[in-house]
Amino acid sequence: MRVNKMAPGQNAELKAKLYNLQRQPLPFHPLILVFSTGRISTNECVPMAREPMPAVGSPFSDEIVSVIKEGTRLNPSVHDGAIIFTRGKEEEEYRLSAWSMRIISKGIPDYTEPNVGSAHNSAQSLSLSPTVDLCAIISSAGVAMFEKGRISRATP
């Protein structure tokens, strides 16, 4: 695995779980995951209408792949948009709180890479939100993580 631009110690446990998640067979790519302490403003993310909507409340754990697979079996359209995990306080675990969220953040990072696409730019902008701890895009090529507008990557 190759890692670059990683801030040491920040969200280290969460990042390790994301690296492990990338190595598992996922139901779709890219997978956009957002982690926050507290609620994410509706100025940053809005739900897309889905019927039926999969259940929420599952912890972000080793079992999350089966939860995501079950959610996409129930409604394949939930693959579109971000999956949100929130916690009330730093010492609590992240729990799945929303499926299929459209990122509408207006945050402007100091630097953006050219030619990377809307998911990348949206996740980077959303990572500037005060309640967002980390945004991740998981693909077959690796994991891109965004913290406060900064990007780090890991490739298998």
Q: Quick check: 107 and 117 in contact, CB under 8 A? A: no
User: Looking at residue 143, what is its pLDDT?
Assistant: 95
Question: Which residues have C-beta within 8 Å of that of residue 49, sequence separation ≥ 6?
Answer: none
Over the stretch 89-131, which tens digit does the pLDDT of each residue have? 999 999 999 999 999 999 999 988 888 889 999 999 999 999 9
> Is domain 2-155 in CATH 3.40.1700.10, yes or no?
yes
Domain borders along the chain are: 2-155
pTM: 0.91
SS3 57: coil
64: which residues sit within 8 A by CB, 6+ positions away? 21, 58, 96
Among the residue ranges 9-18, 19-28, 112-121, the one predicted with the least confidence is 9-18
Give the Cα separation of 127 and 64 in Å (integer).
22
3 state DSSP class of 120 = helix
> How far, in Å, CA of 135 to CA of 128, rounded?
10
Residues of the chain with pLDDT > 90, as a percent, come to 75
